[in-house]
Amino acid sequence: MQMLVRASALRNFPSMAAALVAALAIGVAPAVAQGARPAAASAQGARAADAPRNGSAPALPTGPASSLTYPDIAGLVEDAGIVAVVQVRRQAVVDAARAPGLAAGRARLYLETTTQALLAAPTPVGQELSFLADVPLTDRGRVPKLRKQRFVIFADTVPGRAGQLQLVQPDAMMPADPAFEARLRQVITQFADGDVPPPVTGVRHVLYTPGNLAGESETQMIVETATGVPASISVIRRPNMAPQWGVSWSEIIDQSATPPAPDTPGWYRLACGLPRELANDAFLTGPGSDRQRARADYQVVLDALGPCTRTRT
């Protein structure tokens, strides 16, 4: 389905405006990333292959970017090949009849922007960038005027079209402010590290082992990951002491392992990837009290990690 921009809005635009709208008619709107990438590339780093985009267009957040949680930001950083700060120069409204998946109360805009800062990219990008974005209408039901406003965008390049981008999601454009940019740079740096753990997909095996003393035990869990390289979690109990747990990003059980610090890639992998309950077929022992104790130890891990809170869908 071709997506057309109102002719009056494009009268003074270069011809590539309409070309971008047509080229991205299927790929951008609606566009929802599915599946995680290993890590977001730095400006000098290599970038992983694109994840597929499909599904319905979510609403653009109306609150400040500072309200985004660590999982929100980490997900955007992993999904995007390009993270940049841009200033809007021009905008044109895409005809709603030609904007499939556009949610009620929103407008689809073609934006021409000037790059102000490149936070992450596999290669340098031009100073002028253009893309489509879904934005909420004003309280009066009008299209907002974004000219001269600054935004952080999370996007990918359009093959064969220099300077043209595809947002990883229609809401992947956040108002820029110094606090958010500083926070974002920190997350980008974390995920540019070559030691970022792979996404967690489940718990493969669980083994509870009682100790020689009353109140002494160890629960060992082998964690599955998206790359197939397992990780391990151990929970150790000793008499008159609080349970201690840690994670080792290998299949080797390490009793000296420690928990990941909050708001780090390791924490993000566990908090957002571990199942809320252990499957019965994961236990290496039969039904009984050992399973109950192992489940209690697993709950210790979940409670320590806390919830994977997201404000974005």
124-148 pLDDT per residue, tens: 888 999 999 999 999 999 999 999 9
pLDDT beyond 90 at 118:
yes
Nearest to 3 by CA among 13, 14, 18, 12: 18
One domain for residues 129 and 234: no
Of 192, 212, 239, which closes a domain?
A: 192
Of 128, 163, 192, which closes a domain?
A: 192
One domain for residues 174 and 271: no
One domain for residues 175 and 227: no
One domain for residues 205 and 298: yes
One domain for residues 181 and 225: no
Write out the residue range of the structural domain in which residue 112 sits: 7-192
pLDDT single digits (tens) 44-86: 333 332 222 333 333 333 445 778 999 999 999 999 999 999 9
One domain for residues 106 and 204: no
Spell out the long-range contacts of 203-206 with Cβ–Cβ below 8 A and sequence spacing 24 or more: 203/274, 203/275, 203/278, 203/279, 203/282, 203/298, 204/230, 204/282, 205/282, 205/283, 205/284, 206/278, 206/282, 206/283, 206/284, 206/294, 206/298
One domain for residues 150 and 215: no
Q: What is the CATH number of the domain that holds 122?
A: 2.40.50.120
Of 158, 192, 226, which closes a domain?
A: 192
CA 266, 272, 278, 283 torsion-angle sign: negative
Greater model confidence, 300 or 256: 300
CA 189, 313, 115, 163 torsion-angle sign: positive
